[in-house]
Structure 1
Amino acid sequence: MAYVVIGADRLGNINALLEEKLDGELIHVSGRKKKDQNYSLPQLVKGVIVFTDYINHNLAKRVKADAKKRNVPIVFAKRSVSHLECTLEQMMVCQQEGCDRPCTRNRSFHATV
């Protein structure tokens, strides 16, 4: 199973954090290319990470609806290591406990579990 990362042209050092924290394949979609605008989530996906400062709004809405319909956790984060780390920690807690509350340190977290 894989995690889908949407947004940002390049992940840079965020890629190392994602590989460390997540157990599965990473699928990166920049979300800004014309071919990415009709992207739909793969069948077997463990979670979705959306970088809010590097994505088309229509794509973000479509991916959020798709994740919610399939009951897949989705998080929205800024493209920074510290912000993403808090978001990933909360996503892991929610996957284990089945909760949907926002992280108290990160107001942009949303999960559909």
Structure 2
Amino acid sequence: MSYVVIGADRLGNIIDMLEEKLDGKLIHVSGRKKKDQAYALPQMVKGVIVFTDFINHNLAKRVKADAKKRNVPIVFAKRSVRHLECTLEQMMNCTNVECDRACARKDSF
């Protein structure tokens, strides 16, 4: 199982934090190249992280729709370790079963 990280040309020290918090392979897609614009999520994906300040709007909409259709958790965050940590923690600690947001499905992330 893997996690897809979309956005940002380089992840820098964010990759270390993600590898520490998440259990799985990380797939990074910058979203800037022409071939990235047609990116489709792999079949066996555990979750999606989208960096909102470095992504094409059409790609973000397409990935969001694909994740929702396949019931894959997705989070949107700024490209900063602090903001990403907070976003991932909120998602993993969400206990509202009635909630329609991806973080409500913490058992699948």
> Under a length normalisation based on structure 2, what TM-score does the superposition of the two structures give?
0.88
2:55 aligned with 1:55, yes or no?
yes
SS at match of 1:71: coil
Counterpart code for 1:28: H
2:81 aligned with 1:87, yes or no?
no
Q: Aligned Cα RMSD in Å?
A: 1.8
Any unmatched runs of 5+ in structure 2? Answer: none
Distance 1:99 1:24 in 2: 27
Q: For residue 98 of structure 1, report the CA deviation from its aligned partner.
A: 5.0
Deviations 1:47-77 (A, max 9, x none): 0000000000000000000000000000000
Q: For residue 99 of structure 1, report the CA deviation from its aligned partner.
A: 6.2
Tell me how many residue pairs correspond in the alignment. 104
Any unmatched runs of 5+ in structure 1? Answer: 102-109
Q: Hey, what does 2:37 align to over in structure 1?
A: 37
Counterpart code for 1:88: L
Runs of 4+ residues deviating >3 angstroms: 96-101
SS at match of 2:40: coil
SS at match of 1:88: helix
2:94 aligned with 1:64, yes or no?
no
Deviations 1:82-105 (A, max 9, x none): 0000111122224x775647xxxx
> Under a length normalisation based on structure 1, what TM-score does the superposition of the two structures give?
0.85
Percent of pairs identical after alignment?
81
Q: Hey, what does 1:111 align to over in structure 2?
A: 102
